[in-house]
Structure 1
Amino acid sequence: MVWGKVHSWTFECLDCEWRTTTMPAGDMLLRGVTHFDTCPACSGENLMRREATDLERLIERILPAKRGAR
């Protein structure tokens, strides 16, 4: 039984330009891994969350080591 679509999210810090795309494997969100309340780079709370684009999902699948490198 499918409960619903699992979303891929892109988090962007508006203070320091940190960015990461998360692709949860299930429906559980893990703070600091698949969900962010504060920026891990600058500890700022000025984060924007949006649904990841197809290109961001593709890059995350091909280059998972690049996560958060921008």
Structure 2
Amino acid sequence: MAGKANELAGKAKQAAGDATDNNSLRAKGAAQEAKGGAQQAKGKLERDAFRRNRKGDSFFCANQIHHSGR
């Protein structure tokens, strides 16, 4: 959720920077949008790992190794 919010806020900052010809605001918006994208990617990896664990597959999580017992 935070990732999507950062992406949207970053896009808004970039648009404001474009409208006001403010390069600093554009750059801050681009950085915030990238941060949101990274947060979204991390969340997807965590969700996928959780789903794999529920199915019994092995994966790395929180610096521990979980095994399916195979």
TM over 0.5: no
Which has the higher relative contact order, 1 or 2, with Cα contacts under 8 A spaced 6 or more apart?
A: 1
State the TM-score bracket (shorter-chain normalisation). Answer: under 0.3
Query: TM-score, normalized by length of structure 2?
Result: 0.22
Pair member with larger Rg: 2
